[in-house]
Amino acid sequence: MKISIYGKGGIGKSTISCNISIALARRGKKILQIGCDPKHDSTFTLTGFLIPTIIDTLQLKDYHYEDVWPEDVIYQGYGGVDCVEAGGPPAGAGCGGYVVGETVKLLKELNAFFEYDVILFDVLGDVVCGGFAAPLNYSDYCLIVTDNGFDALFAANRITASVREKSRTHPLRLAGLIGNRTQKRDLIDKYVEACPMPVLEVLPLIEDIRVSRVKGKTLFELSEQEKQLNYVCDFYLNIVDQLLSNPEGVVPKELADKQLFQLLSDFYLTKDNLTKTTEQPNLNNLDFLLL
């Protein structure tokens, strides 16, 4: 199984990816997590340091694939999870899709790409071009991380469009949404009502999740000493159990931008929500966007 995790920048994809990888390992699976971000910090909480990237290693070897060994690019992290960082092109030059393609090519050369039960791609920020969507070419499922806010759901809707487009030529399905760092899920529910897709889990606004990233450890590792965190780990185990059931998934149909803005304005302009919501959107801006 190959899974790509997408979502708005800063939404917590890497934290979720690392904990899902550990949860999969706890279920007895052999896991490879591939970070697909120039920051190359996807696997930091698994390994405890910034591992060398594929692209940097290839440059050192003058792109002689035969001179690269598995131990040059694959590092084992906590829980037995193997880790790779694709890296990225220089700022303002090159394409992220090329880097992902080179990463997969090298892993195949090393006979490593098909040795795992699950390969998880942790992909940078919003999908804005075909290059960023490249991991979907190799994936069975896409997971989208969002919160209960409009910006994250707007990004989720763009990713949904990318999944739909890729599913025309690849055996790709959307496994569902993961809500992260949110006290409510009412806007998430409104979105999936208009754009049907599964919601695998909604993680509440738990400070320990943020702190775990700062400490450079997964929640599973922290829970070995702090037993009160076990209940948080159960959220990730629940996601994994759904994935391991080989869900049918969906080929989603994204909302048009105007529909999405209309959904937001309708939601916030209802009488009940106006009285309950302390942070209201700038309705003048919404009116402008709906023109």
Question: How many CA atoms lie less than 13 Å away from 36 in the CB half-sphere?
Answer: 35
Q: DSSP string covering 210-262, please?
A: HHHHHHT--HHHHHTT-GGGHHHHHHHHHHHHHHHT----B---PPPHHHHHH
The response to whether 18 counts as a known ligand-binding position is: no
CA 73 to chain centre: 21
Residue of 39, 215, 253, 276 marked active site = 39
The response to whether 10 counts as a known ligand-binding position is: yes
147 is catalytic: no
Q: Which helix (H) or strand (E) holds 158?
A: helix 150-166
The response to whether 181 counts as a known ligand-binding position is: yes
The response to whether 180 counts as a known ligand-binding position is: yes
Separation CA 25–CA 11 (nearest Å): 24
The response to whether 129 counts as a known ligand-binding position is: yes
The response to whether 119 counts as a known ligand-binding position is: no
208 is catalytic: no
- Tell which phi-psi region holds residue 176, choosing left (phi > 0), alpha (psi between -120 and 50) or beta: left
Residue of 82, 126, 140, 147 marked active site = 126
Compute and round to an integer the Cα radius of gyration of the chain: 19
37 is catalytic: no
Contact 37, 135 (CB under 8 A): no
Question: How many CA atoms lie less than 13 Å away from 32 in the CB half-sphere?
Answer: 21
The response to whether 39 counts as a known ligand-binding position is: yes
Residue of 8, 29, 166, 217 marked active site = 8
The response to whether 61 counts as a known ligand-binding position is: no
Separation CA 120–CA 3 (nearest Å): 5
The response to whether 87 counts as a known ligand-binding position is: no
108 is catalytic: no
Residue list, annotated binding site for ATP: 10-15, 39, 180-181
Residues forming the annotated binding site? 10-15, 39, 95, 129, 180-181
Known catalytic residues? 8, 13, 39, 126
Binding site listing for [4Fe-4S] cluster: 95, 129
